[in-house]
Amino acid sequence: MLTSPVISKGRPRVHKRGDTLLAVLLTGLGAAVIVIAVLASTIQKRNETILGLRDQIEGMSAVHPLRYYANRGGNLPIIATSRKALMTSSYVLAIGNQCGESLPLVLTLEDVAADRRKTVNIEVDARQTAEFSHFDDWKLSEGDSVEISHEGFNSVRMRFR
């Protein structure tokens, strides 16, 4: 049954501002609840993404044994870089071991211009970086090349420039 806007005594019903204000406030409150729900959903998705990325990073930075790398393509678990020496005109070779075991390596040094060749055995401790600027009578200089190898793995070759 519908209520008439006319009061029983014949006078029209007066709409109070309070009713309009209450309607506006309830509409605003409903909109705020929807906005909060959307924001909460977005934050939850971002947190899940961040957790997933953290898991990936932890997996990437985990220390693995040497056989782990041998089973995954055979690339040496090293980072090899070179730089100019501070006091001389020679170069410095830095070899970083990325695995959880000490890594014995064979370095084959070659100077094509002087027709010299030398093989050196070194060992880099687990998760450490070793730097070399000379090997006995051999100073690393421009034009030299070095091949870094370990049995069962792909070799790494660099030229000093």
* In a shared domain, residues 41 and 82: no
pTM for the predicted model, two decimal places: 0.59
* In a shared domain, residues 34 and 94: no
- If one counts the domains in the chain, the total is 2
12-65 tens-digit pLDDT: 656 666 778 888 889 999 999 999 999 988 888 888 888 888 877 766 666 777
What's the pLDDT score for residue 60?
64
What is the residue range of 46's domain? 16-62
* In a shared domain, residues 112 and 154: yes
* In a shared domain, residues 136 and 154: yes
Which is nearest to 123 in space by CA: 99, 102, 94? 102
The Cα 4–Cα 7 span in angstroms is: 7
CA atoms within 13 A on the CB side of 130: 13
Which is nearest to 79 in space by CA: 27, 130, 119, 120? 130
What's the pLDDT score for residue 78?
92
- Of the segments 2-16, 21-35, 123-137, which one has the largest average pLDDT value? 21-35
* In a shared domain, residues 79 and 151: yes
- 5 within some domain: no
For residue 6, is pLDDT > 70? no
What's the pLDDT score for residue 32?
93
* In a shared domain, residues 86 and 40: no
What's the pLDDT score for residue 87?
83
* In a shared domain, residues 94 and 131: yes
- 140 within some domain: yes
